[in-house]
Amino acid sequence: MFGVLFEQTADGQRYIDWLLSGLGWTLALAFFGWWIAFGIGVVVGVGRTVQNRFISVPARLYVEIFRNVPVLVQMFLWYFVFPEVVPSALGDAIKQIPPPWASFFPALLCLGLYTASRIAEQVRAGIEALPRGQFEAANALGLNGYLTYRYVIVPQALRLIVPSLTSEVMGIYKNTSVALTIGLMELTAQARQISEATFQTFTAFGAATIIYLCLALVAYQAMTLIDKAVRIPGSAPVKPTTDEDLASEMRQGGALPATMEVVK
């Protein structure tokens, strides 16, 4: 079924080379976009929780704007509208960027800022999930607000939200497909090009689907390992004890079950 991918194209390449080229752009867009999103998202998420309204209000506006506008609309705004609203000299310089960078940079900026708004809400939720005693203990140690967030609050919040960040990591890989609308030949765009050249639509998009699935599985496994490495001790879910477990413990040595032992 996938034999057509190894046939030669008119330019002497193979169709699978088109897919690999698209995969490279997808990985580059997702990788650099994620770090932009993570850096901005942490800063904005912290800003959503501080008491200073000059910081919290702009942070909330950022989240509400970028999270509630569809990513496709934002992609068009960065690619078509942004060069027209900036000063003419800067706009002309942006328009003269050669392809594919002329499409890559707006797509990178769009995905980074959009995903940052989602990460900011994850960070805010992680900070608000921490006990108030963490802030009070930091104040008792003489730490100011900046040092409290840097050394006490943010490190714990980030460790708590690793499972929820997994969906954002996988989501940014999938959202890279929107970049085809502004001409970036990423994985989905290359699959469409193969479909138009060979009329093998099922083969082209089937191969792209398998690649996206593999990327998602790799991202999931990587985030699972990170979660296990940084998990706060005692925060793992406790497996409920069943009647069979109690009976098994009772049969072993006649001692009380572990869940019923008296703490001395």
pLDDT beyond 90 at 6: no
Ordered structural domains, the chain, with CATH: 2-260 (1.10.3720.10)
Indicate the pTM of the whole model: 0.85
Euclidean distance between CA atoms 123 and 162, whole angstroms: 10
What is the rounded average pLDDT of the residues 127-135? 91
Euclidean distance between CA atoms 216 and 257, whole angstroms: 42
pLDDT beyond 60 at 139: yes
Burial of 181 (0-12, 13-18, 19+ CB in 10 A): middle
In contact, 118 and 67? CB cutoff 8 Å: yes
pLDDT beyond 60 at 32: yes
Residue 54: band (very low, low, confident or very high) from pLDDT cuts 50, 70, 90: very high
Residues facing residue 198 across a β-bridge: none
DSSP 8-state assignment for residue 183? T
Query: For the ranges 10-19, 76-85, 158-167, which has the lowest average pLDDT?
Result: 10-19
What pLDDT digit, counting tens, does each position of 75-119 carry?
A: 999 999 999 999 999 999 999 999 899 999 999 999 999 999 999
Which pLDDT value is given to residue 71? 94
Euclidean distance between CA atoms 214 and 62, whole angstroms: 33
> What does the chain come to in residues?
264
Q: Could you give the C-alpha distances from 88 to 77, 101, 221, in angstroms and in order?
A: 17, 20, 47
What is the rounded average pLDDT of the residues 145-164? 92
Q: Could you give the C-alpha distances from 227 to 125, 138, 223, 230, in angstroms and in order?
A: 17, 25, 6, 5
The pLDDT > 70 percentage for the chain reads: 88
What is the rounded average pLDDT of the residues 49-78? 94
pLDDT beyond 60 at 186: yes
Mean pLDDT of the chain: 87
